[in-house]
């Protein structure tokens, strides 16, 4: 482990986390917040409550256990957002066990991310999904996933599904590249807060190879190693030659379609004044990811830098 964090560093991290929560129009539970603090910071909700009493300018602990930045309005709809998170998670489990069942042979893992993983989705939020595919199958998986999603919405008209968003889809090699390079607290929190739907053993093995996460968020990292049982998942070979050839054939067409769709969505968002929701569509042979301007602003907040305009 590194050197002990100074009181100023602890305060800066708490302030950053609460500013990010305010961006999402929510607080963050005291229990979750303590998991994101350095090892020498308060270790329990009670200790953290005492720390807040000594730092009233930083934040306040509400009766529901939610911590909000000092002076910020507390969200009166915390309970409804928590209920929505459960409903979204159940819908995602249905998706993986039903329409996406045929994709399972090509998946290393699937997980919920974003506001649903944090348990605080607002009404209208997408249900963000992360997928890690076997090498050589990513674009085949995406093509099938989009078709299955369209069919799922048509079959459940009377029982509406959340808007699923495949915003972070990687093949196994790209996932290892992302996870083994130190990327700061925002990535660490996202990576350690996902809700695994498929492939818990593989995901734990991915975290084991990313030891920088332990330095960035030691308590949250230890929760994974403490709660995850079973052997680590070994690497597996690429898919068949036929799938790999189909994957390469689909890549340029599907990537071009998604880039065009992203440009049209950005135009609509600018027109409606939703500038922070604009995003860049990143397409590579082993990757599809959507990065919003809001994500970049949050990254600057986590780093303690001034927020981007």
Backbone angles phi, psi at 170, to 5 degrees: -130, 150
For the stretch 272-297, pLDDT in tens is 776 666 778 999 999 999 887 766 66
For the stretch 34-48, pLDDT in tens is 888 887 888 888 898
Per DSSP, what are the bridge partners of residue 290?
Answer: 281
Looking up tokens 């590579």, which residue turns up?
284
Return d(Cα 114, Cα 195) in angstroms, integer: 10
Return d(Cα 104, Cα 252) in angstroms, integer: 24
Return d(Cα 251, Cα 244) in angstroms, integer: 11
Q: What percent of the chain has pLDDT over 70?
A: 83
Residue 1 has pLDDT above 50, yes or no: no
For the stretch 112-153, pLDDT in tens is 998 898 888 888 888 999 999 999 999 999 999 999 999 888
Question: What is the predicted pLDDT for the residue at 9?
Answer: 83
Q: Cβ neighbours of residue 200 under 8 Å, at least 6 residues apart?
A: 109, 228, 230
Please report how many Cα atoms fall inside a 13 Å half-sphere around the Cα of residue 232, on the Cβ side: 10
How many other C-beta atoms lie within 10 A of the C-beta of residue 277? 15
Max CA pair span of the chain: 64
pLDDT confidence tier of residue 72, bands split at 50, 70 and 90: low
DSSP character string of 25-85: T--EEHHHHHHTS-TTS--SHHHHHHHHHH-TTTEEE-TTSEEEETTPPPPTTHHHHHHHH
CA–CA distances in Å: residue 259 to residues 74, 91, 113, 192, 221: 38, 27, 22, 29, 35
Residue 106 has pLDDT above 90, yes or no: yes
Name which of 106, 108, 107, 125 is nearest 117 in CA terms.
125
Is residue 217 within 8 A of residue 229, CB to CB? The reply is no
For the stretch 207-243, pLDDT in tens is 988 989 998 888 889 888 776 555 556 667 779 999 9
């Amino acid at each position: 482990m590194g050197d002990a964090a100074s009181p100023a560093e602890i305060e800066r991290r708490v302030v950053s986390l609460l500013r990010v929560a305010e961006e999402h129009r929510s607080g963050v539970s005291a229990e979750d917040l303590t998991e994101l603090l350095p090892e020498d910071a308060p270790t329990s909700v009670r200790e953290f409550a005492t720390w807040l009493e000594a730092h009233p300018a930083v934040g306040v602990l509400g009766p529901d256990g939610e911590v909000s930045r000092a002076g910020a309005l507390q969200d009166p709809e915390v309970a409804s957002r928590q209920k929505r998170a459960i409903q979204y998670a159940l819908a995602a489990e249905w998706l993986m066990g039903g329409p996406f069942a045929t994709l399972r042979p090509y998946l290393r893992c699937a997980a919920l991310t974003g506001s649903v993983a944090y348990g605080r989705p607002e009404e209208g939020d997408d249900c963000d999904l992360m997928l890690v595919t076997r090498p050589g199958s990513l674009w085949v998986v995406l093509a099938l996933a989009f078709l299955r999603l369209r069919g799922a919405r048509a079959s459940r008209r009377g029982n509406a599904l959340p808007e699923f968003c495949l915003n972070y889809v990687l093949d196994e090699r790209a996932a290892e590249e992302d996870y083994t390079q130190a990327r700061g607290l925002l990535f660490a929190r996202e990576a350690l807060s996902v809700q695994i739907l498929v492939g818990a053993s593989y995901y734990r093995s991915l975290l084991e190879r990313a030891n920088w996460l332990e330095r960035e968020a030691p308590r949250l990292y230890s929760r994974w190693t403490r709660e995850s049982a079973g052997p680590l998942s070994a690497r597996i070979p690429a898919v068949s030659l036929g799938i790999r050839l189909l994957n390469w054939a689909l890549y340029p067409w599907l990537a071009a379609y998604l880039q065009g769709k992203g440009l049209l969505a950005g135009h609509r968002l600018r027109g409606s004044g939703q500038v922070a929701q604009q995003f860049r569509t990143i397409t590579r042979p082993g990757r599809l990811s959507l990065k919003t301007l809001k994500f970049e602003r949050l990254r600057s907040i986590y780093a303690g830098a001034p927020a981007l305009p």
